[in-house]
Structure 1
Amino acid sequence: MASLRDCDFGSSFHHQTISRDCLVSNAALKITDVYLKLGEEVFRLEDGHSRFAVDEKLAIALKNSPSGNVDIRLIVENGETIDSEIGKETVKAWQEIY
């Protein structure tokens, strides 16, 4: 079972950007779903060949996210769940990106 350390995911949610230094695992992880909690709303990003598309509704929510950390949940191919946070500096950058 993998456990997540205190890591900064940056502005990309492509699963290959997760540093091996941030995970404790004996096997490569294939992320199949990503959940972001923005305020009271939870957004699900589904796997698109290891890429997670941001639709217009999510882009607006990311742009308008309040300052602070955002909860993220990654679902691994074997069903394992990894919970973490996206740092406030990345959240702040969303206002410029989106």
Structure 2
Amino acid sequence: MVEPADTPHRERLDKFLFHARALKSRTLAQKFIETGAVRINSERTERPDRKVGPGDVLTMQLHGRIVVWRIIDPGTRRGPATEAAGLYEDLSPPALPKG
């Protein structure tokens, strides 16, 4: 199936998390998603093959804190960290102080 030219590029959720360097491998991303730890636009998903694209908001508990990302570009590869950081806008709440 070919997407129309005006349709924004969408990518599998597991690939996006891998491209954005949230997790070290697609396999880890798939397992993470299957636990139900990710919400897309406030809707819980357990499907690694769920398509995401620009404007979608991901909420997840990652590395011991709540992370909220708005997708800017789903990406096409796992590039350097600076490139990965450009794939999303971080809307995460500030970390709680340790004490």
TM-score tier by shorter-chain length is 0.3 to 0.5
> Structure 1-normalised TM-score?
0.35
More strand per residue: 1 or 2? 1
> Structure 2-normalised TM-score?
0.35
Higher RCO structure, 1 or 2 (CA under 8 Å, sep 6+): 1
